[in-house]
Structure 1
Amino acid sequence: MSAKRNPGGPSGVRNAHGLFCGDEGAVAMLFAACASLMVGAMCTAIDSIHYEMTQARMQMALDVATLSAGANLAHFDTTNSADLTAWKNDARSYYNINMPSGYMDLSMPDANFSAQVTGTPATGQNIQLSAKGSVPLLAPLIWAKNGSTTSNGSGSGGGNATPTPDTATVSASNSALRLPKSTLELVMVLDNSTSMNQKASSSDSTLKIDGLKAAAKNLVTNLFSQTTNDSYVALVPFTTMVNVGSVLPSTGTTWLRNDFTAYNSQGTNISAWRGCAVEPRDANKNMYPKAYAPKDNPGFTPWYWNVPPAGYTVQNYTTSYDSKGRVVSSCNVGTKTIVPGVPLVEQTNGSLTYCKGGGNTGNIYDWWGQPDAGGAFTPTKSYDQNYNYLTSSQKNGKTTYTQTLSGPCEIAAAQFLSKDSGTLTSSITAMQPNGNTLIPTGLLWGWRMLSSAWSQNTAGTANGFKSTDPTLPRPESTAGLQRVAIVLTDGENAFGSSTGLMAPPYFNGLSGVGTKALKAPTVQRTLNNTMLTDGDMTSIDDINAFQLGVCTAMKQDGVIIYAITFGTYGTDTDSQRAQATMQACASPGNYYHAPSSTTLNTIFQQIAGNLGVLRLTQ
């Protein structure tokens, strides 16, 4: 009996032949074929999106890495293989930060990342970066996989068969050009203290001062070698003071109080101002880390090492000779003269131990604000208010005087902003080691050479910096202007001995004349977070705190600071703090240590290259 179809029930079970040959089977096969095409097309689309997203992220990461690596060139000497390798590693690190490992399943071996640089910092550098990796594909899982082939021929079944790739190659590349800056105001604030007359290390063949001169001259040469250059460079040699006598008018009507009277001794004008100024203080004797302006009140005062309240006292002593030039008597009381309005004490031909009899005690010196000198005076020397002295020699009853300029202000003069390489080179050559070190003094005057308040256009010709261009320093808002200070020292802040003929803590351009107080109510100490309202010039930590106050104010004013320590530093606490202070003084990433003159020259060249413009060219 044949089976009957139940119209109201399910169909009977079909065998395989019926499934494939019936209408329903044909539909199923067609659906399966279409579904495969749809899934394959979807996977191809996903692969395309995957590739585009990965390539875009790779290019973005490479662009950031190129710009970052270009800026980072300032900290490396790429002619040195070790530095070049370190720079390349940094470039890869910049890339990795913006292209995380495994992003979109990207695989990129280290060998597929390349970073190259050509050229020199002074003339321009080309930076080239490239990256290449692979991402897995989904489409081959549908179309062909594991040895499946695709035809390269024109026919459907012929041609050369090749494996269908399971991955796609993703690559990116770019280049950047790093050129020297063309709009620049740069001031070099350079330590000229006595220790610069030593070698940087036992293996160094040159004195530090000579190495510094060579590096500074090379920097000037490289900056001005650009034909499109519009840069100006200034020089501020410093010890405990800065000599600004040649760059600012001594007859200034507002910037410098000029109310002293000249006095001539032994045919030599020994009371003239020699170019150093005392930092302003308010009515409460407070100091501030400020560039100030020539019109500000309080203003600057001329620097003198001894300022008696009653004026300039001269006490002379005479010596009697016989007809053969032999001494008959000495320490004879001569004339005593008080010249009002002149801040000077002069002592001639006598000392406390040599001439202390005859009722002269107490009349030889008119000290103010410094310790008793005891027998320190040489009988044949007479000191002026700049701590220079006259030396007398006698022959046949005739006295001859020779003036010796050895005071703290007898240092190389500052040079205002100039684009004359010859003038700058001569100023650098004139630098000579002398005296102690107060870094903030140099920084303050370097800052003023970058402050438009000190231009003739703002302050007037009688009070602004001497220049044939009255717009210098240019207004801070000048488009494209870069204001930069390079500060270098070979040691730490050092005020000198607190005793002796001249006590440096009492008499320098920072603390003022006759006092060692360092009161700066807006400056905070880093060691205990107290304010510097009771600072002391005999405390190195207090001077360091004031230095950082100056650096912070300069950076807030838009000045970029490069800080360099030069020579051998010890492991003692003061040496470590000195380097830490210089590092904190610098703008981020701009601190360097030069253990030798050769390294110093390299650092100056790197800085020259860093004073530039970086832009992508591809």
Structure 2
Amino acid sequence: MMHARPPELRRRGGRVAGAILRMRTRPLSRLPSTATGALRDRSGSVATIFAVAMVPVLIAAGVGIDIARATSSRTALQDAIDATALAVAHLPASTSQDDLEAKALLWLNANLNNSALQNVQLDAALTNGEAVLTATAAVPTTLTAIAGFPTVPVKAASTVKWGLGHVEVALVLDNTGSMSGTKLSRLKAAAADLVTALSDSTDSNDPNALKISVVPFAAAVKVGSTYRGQTWLKGAAPKQYFEDNDLRNDLFNQKKQQNRFTLMDQINTAWGGCVESRPAPYDIDDTGPISSKPQSYFVPYFAPDEPDNNTIESGSWWPQYFTFPNNYLSDGTTGTNNWEDRQGRKQKYTGAPGNGGGPNKGCDMQSLVRLTTNMTTVKDKIAAMNATGNTNIPIGLMWGWHTLSPNQPFADGAAYDDPDTKKFVVLLTDGDNVNDATNNSNRSSYSALGYIWQKRLMGTDGVTPLDENSSASQRTAAMDARMLAACTNMKAKGVTVYTVRIDLSGSASTALRECATTPDMYYDIDSSGLGAAFSNIAGSIGRLRIAN
């Protein structure tokens, strides 16, 4: 039930509502002057407080920006000082302090790509195989300057050592007939420059800092005739050199071992100094001779006298006419035309050989140089190299490894676990592996692998040796496989391998590329680029590490 409001209350309520409405709509200009003045004073104070409060905020923001700039600039300075230290450390130890600092500053500026850096100062020293560099600079600030810090100092330091310590390098160089002329001349020049570059970048105060060997190779490798009589060298090929220990695969009749040194003495011919490849697995391993493993010994290279008669029985009913290129003795018999009987007669090794060749045929390359600190000896051997014969990369590679190995036959190399010694092989060739498929009963020329019918070349499966029925391409593939297996074994011992292939058209050699330790250590170039390639290799071998 609703009740009517009294009249006086209705009237009073209307007046109150109107007053409130009028108060709400009164313009600000009609407020008392004291009120508007107070508001104006208060707004000015807020602006002042805000402005004052923003100063540290802006400084803080500026500090953040300037710290980021200084950090970036210091990183750039560190990169530049590291690169400079690497360059400086290649300078001779005799470099004067003034020359050192001048060159260092030049390299620093060349490597420094940061325009924010000002007042760059450099201190450099080169002592005892170390390059110690310290660089300081200033980075101008932005808003931080308001606080009284116009620049931020930055500093970078680098100490560089020869990261390799002692270095052992084997130069395994193709000296086959195809290298004759310009290619060999370019090789000699580039190899000599490589030796110089390596010598210049090592510590002259350490007489054992650098050792180099040189291994010229063709169809065989010549260690040198002075090694006759060494315990690791057997005059007669052990029966274990042949498949199933079968001496029928040796060079001589009657299944009897023959001392090759004795036969050469009988015909007044000195041993040329070449050696033959050991049988698998020793053909791809640096294991030294073991008395219980006769096949682990080395044997002297001996190219036998081949048959006189070029009408030779070969198992067919019609005569076969062959040419044998290494006929230097009379067979001493007319009773048979069987080529094996004629070739294998040991009785014929008497008297001086004729002009048909000799037991050293195929051993015409220069002898190797063992690891030495005498760089003159190394360069003299390089200068004396000559081109001859076919290509047998595996045996060249293995003798390069033998020169670096701590095992016999030479045992010149440091232990593989020596933390201060690094070992390198630089292998160069201008051709593919070759084992001639000749048109005579031997079906091959004699090489460090003997004749192909002796089954001394292991096939690509690593189990079955090749025989006289194999093709030239199969022999190349088998030799490539042995080369790659040797590289794999070598690298497993910590030897770093560079491979260089020159003046060959067509696709790159997969085996040589895989033989190299890394893809960038394989070079496939024209011989005109040998100097640059060997310079790169020298720089890589002499590469330094940042110590701190």
- Out of 150, 153, 172, the position equivalent to 1:189 is 172
Alignment of 1:157-236 (within 5 A): 183-198=166-181, 207-224=182-199, 227-228=204-205, 229-230=207-208, 231-236=210-215
Relative to total residues, which structure has the larger helix share, 1 or 2? 2
- Out of 402, 407, 411, the position equivalent to 2:361 is 407
Alignment of 1:507-546 (within 5 A): 507-509=447-449, 514-515=454-455, 517-519=457-459, 538-539=473-474, 540-546=476-482
Higher Cα Rg, which structure: 2
- Distance in 1 (CA, whole Å) between partners of 2:366 and 2:356 is 18
Closer, same or farther: CA 180–382 of 1 in aligned 2, 3 Å: farther
- Distance in 2 (CA, whole Å) between partners of 1:30 and 1:502 is 108
Residue 484 (structure 2) pairs with residue 548 (structure 1): yes
Match of 1:603 in 2: 533
Name structure 2 gaps, 5 residues minimum. Answer: 1-18, 20-26, 91-106, 121-128, 238-256, 332-339, 344-351
Paired AA for residue 560 in structure 1: T
- Out of 283, 289, 297, the position equivalent to 1:294 is 289
Q: Deviation digits for residues 214-256 of structure 1, max 9, x if unmatched?
A: 3333434554567334222111111122122447554425778
Deviation at 1:195, TM superposition (A): 0.2
- Distance in 1 (CA, whole Å) between partners of 2:353 and 2:464 is 49
Relative to total residues, which structure has the larger strand share, 1 or 2? 1
Q: How many residues align?
A: 439
Deviation at 1:383, TM superposition (A): 8.1
Closer, same or farther: CA 128–434 of 1 in aligned 2, 3 Å: farther
SS at match of 2:289: coil
Match of 1:586 in 2: 516
Deviation at 1:129, TM superposition (A): 13
Contact 2:423–2:495 (8 Å) recurs in 1:
yes
Alignment of 1:108-507 (within 5 A): 183-198=166-181, 207-224=182-199, 227-228=204-205, 229-230=207-208, 231-246=210-225, 248-252=227-231, 260-261=258-259, 268-269=267-268, 274-281=273-280, 289-295=284-290, 297=293, 298-302=295-299, 344=304, 347=307, 350-353=308-311, 374-377=321-324, 381-382=328-329, 401=354, 404-405=357-358, 407-454=361-408, 464-465=409-410, 472-500=412-440, 503-504=443-444, 507=447
Contact 1:497–1:504 (8 Å) recurs in 2:
yes
Deviation at 1:191, TM superposition (A): 0.4
- Distance in 2 (CA, whole Å) between partners of 1:209 and 1:554 is 27
- Distance in 2 (CA, whole Å) between partners of 1:517 and 1:292 is 19
Paired AA for residue 611 in structure 1: I
Q: Deviation digits for residues 397-424 of structure 1, max 9, x if unmatched?
A: xx99457456123322122112233433
Q: Percent sequence identity over matched residues?
A: 22
Contact 1:303–1:513 (8 Å) recurs in 2:
no
Contact 2:190–2:530 (8 Å) recurs in 1:
yes
- Distance in 2 (CA, whole Å) between partners of 1:605 and 1:125 is 22
- Distance in 1 (CA, whole Å) between partners of 2:322 and 2:426 is 43
- Distance in 2 (CA, whole Å) between partners of 1:444 and 1:583 is 17
Paired AA for residue 46 in structure 1: G
Match of 2:10 in 1: none
Deviation at 1:37, TM superposition (A): 2.4
- Distance in 1 (CA, whole Å) between partners of 2:227 and 2:452 is 19
Deviation at 1:377, TM superposition (A): 4.2
Match of 1:563 in 2: 499
- Distance in 2 (CA, whole Å) between partners of 1:543 and 1:434 is 19
- Distance in 1 (CA, whole Å) between partners of 2:326 and 2:170 is 43
Closer, same or farther: CA 616–474 of 1 in aligned 2, 3 Å: closer
Closer, same or farther: CA 17–545 of 1 in aligned 2, 3 Å: farther
SS at match of 2:188: helix
Alignment of 1:96-107 (within 5 A): none
Contact 2:390–2:434 (8 Å) recurs in 1:
yes
Closer, same or farther: CA 602–275 of 1 in aligned 2, 3 Å: same
Q: Deviation digits for residues 443-463 of structure 1, max 9, x if unmatched?
A: 111111111122xxxxxxxxx
Match of 2:76 in 1: 58
Contact 1:246–1:414 (8 Å) recurs in 2:
no
RMSD: 5.2
Closer, same or farther: CA 69–346 of 1 in aligned 2, 3 Å: same
- Distance in 2 (CA, whole Å) between partners of 1:211 and 1:240 is 21
Contact 1:62–1:129 (8 Å) recurs in 2:
no
Contact 1:190–1:488 (8 Å) recurs in 2:
yes
Paired AA for residue 194 in structure 2: L
Q: Bigger CA drift: 273-282 or 503-512?
A: 503-512
- Out of 43, 54, 57, the position equivalent to 1:39 is 57
- Distance in 1 (CA, whole Å) between partners of 2:330 and 2:270 is 10
SS at match of 1:508: coil
Residue 49 (structure 2) pairs with residue 19 (structure 1): no
Paired AA for residue 426 in structure 2: I
Name structure 1 gaps, 5 residues minimum. Answer: 5-11, 73-87, 97-107, 115-123, 144-149, 153-163, 199-206, 307-343, 354-360, 388-398, 455-463, 466-470, 523-531
SS at match of 2:215: strand
Paired AA for residue 194 in structure 1: G
